[in-house]
């Protein structure tokens, strides 16, 4: 079902104490200041999942996400974390295919398709990230890249399973750079993603899909981005580490 969503992606930041303080502040401000129905998701490092779950477990519309997971249920994979382990911590979501995973850890479409299957098999909600690099945009390959990533990672799914995904469009050149895609640039790609989903599945599934924008989302640009027809919220990195900023982004929904 299409929803308004503000998802924070903390990446590899914060101490546990800082993380707990941040979540407590955000939850308090959210409850005091926000009357809307948007979902809030905290995408936190593995070791913080369980302690952060403790702080949000009885809060409406606030969820917990991992930033990665392994594609096997269990096994001799030193240092890895499985979907059942994520569920045990209280996580309900997992971010897959973030450009930093693709770029630094060599995650490709086949691997991401396997991870997506595994997450869905355990009823984790996947936030599936796609997006082009600056070079790909400037050489005119932007839409082809988005299509390849989306079809390679997700279009093998049944309609029922595809409907459980959240898609995040994050142009790589806008991540952590302070350069945001203009609302029109983001809308163009979001509309294209929705069109691809309609072509692969149907118009109803496309209309029901939540598609988030990510890449230097801040309180100053959130409202204009979120007012675009096909943008349903944000996947927020840097600004999700500041309680005031993240709550203002939620309120922009």
Among all residues, which ones are annotated catalytic?
98, 170
Applying CB under 6 A, among 214, 222, 230, 247 the residue interacting with ligand PGA is 214
Decide if residue 236 touches ligand PGA (CB under 6 A): yes
With CB under 6 A as the contact rule, the residue among 27, 91, 189, 235 that binds ligand PGA is 235
Listed in sequence order, the DSSP H helices in the chain are 16-33, 49-56, 83-89, 99-105, 109-121, 134-138, 142-154, 159-162, 183-200, 203-208, 219-226, 243-251
SS3 75: coil
Q: Which of these segments, 22-30, 105-113, 197-205, 212-220, binds ligand PGA (CB under 6 A)?
A: 212-220
Minimum CB–partner distance for residue 79 and ligand PGA (Å): 22
Q: Determine the interface stretch with ligand PGA among 55-63, 65-73, 115-123, 234-242 (rule: CB under 6 A).
A: 234-242
DSSP 41-54: EEE--GGGHHHHHH
Give whole-number Cα distances, 225 to 33, 129, 152, 187, 241, in Å: 21, 17, 27, 8, 20
Cα separation, 170 vs 223, in Å, equals: 17
217 touches ligand PGA by CB under 6 A: yes
| Residue 237 interacting with ligand PGA (CB under 6 A) | yes
Q: How far is CA 32 from CA 29, 35, 36, 243, in A?
A: 5, 8, 11, 13
Shortest Å distance, C-beta 237 to ligand PGA: 2
* Residues 6 or more apart whose Cβ sits within 8 Å of residue 50: 89, 90
* Closer Cβ to ligand PGA, 91 or 214, answer by number: 214
For ligand PGA, the nearest residue by Cβ is 237
Q: Are strands 93-96 and 125-130 parallel, antiparallel or unpaired?
A: parallel
Alpha helices in 122-240 (DSSP H): 134-138, 142-154, 159-162, 183-200, 203-208, 219-226
Site string for ligand PGA, 168-207 (x = CB under 6 A): --x----xx-------------------------------
Q: From the CB of 10, what's the least distance to ligand PGA, in Å?
A: 10
Q: Is 131 in the site for ligand PGA (CB under 6 A)?
A: no
Tell me the three state secondary structure of residue 166.
strand
**Nearest distance, CB of residue 7 and ligand PGA, angstroms:** 8
Q: Which of 10, 238, 246, 248 touches ligand PGA (CB under 6 A)? A: 238
Q: Which is nearer to ligand PGA, 55 or 239 (CB)?
A: 239
Residue 149: CB atoms within 10 Å: 22
Distance of closest approach, residue 104 Cβ to ligand PGA, in angstroms: 12
In the complex, which residues of this chain contact ligand PGA (CB under 6 A)?
9, 170, 175-176, 214-217, 235-239
């Amino acid at each position: 079902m299409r929803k308004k969503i503000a998802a924070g992606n903390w990446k590899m930041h914060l101490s546990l104490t800082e993380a707990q303080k941040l979540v407590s502040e955000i939850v308090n401000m959210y409850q005091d200041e926000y009357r809307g129905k948007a979902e809030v998701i905290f995408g936190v490092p593995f070791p913080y999942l369980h302690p952060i779950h403790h702080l949000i477990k009885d809060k409406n519309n606030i969820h917990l996400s991992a930033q990665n997971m392994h594609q096997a249920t269990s096994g001799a994979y030193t240092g890895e974390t499985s979907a059942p382990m994520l569920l045990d911590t209280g996580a309900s979501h997992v971010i897959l295919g973030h450009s930093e995973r693709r770029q630094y850890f060599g995650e490709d479409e086949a691997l991401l398709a396997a991870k997506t299957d595994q997450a869905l098999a355990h009823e984790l909600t996947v936030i599936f990230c796609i997006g082009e690099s600056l070079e790909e945009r400037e050489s005119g390959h932007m839409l082809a890249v988005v299509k390849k990533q989306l079809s390679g990672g997700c279009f093998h799914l049944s309609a029922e399973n595809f409907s459980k995904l959240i898609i995040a469009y994050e142009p790589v050149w806008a991540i952590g750079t302070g350069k945001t895609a203009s609302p029109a640039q983001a809308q163009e790609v979001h509309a294209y993603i929705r069109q691809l989903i309609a072509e692969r599945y149907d118009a109803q599934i496309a209309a029901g899909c939540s598609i988030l924008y990510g890449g230097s989302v801040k309180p100053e640009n959130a409202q204009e981005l979120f007012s675009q027809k096909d943008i349903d919220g944000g996947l927020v990195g840097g600004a999700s580490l500041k309680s005031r900023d993240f709550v203002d982004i939620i309120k922009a929904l």
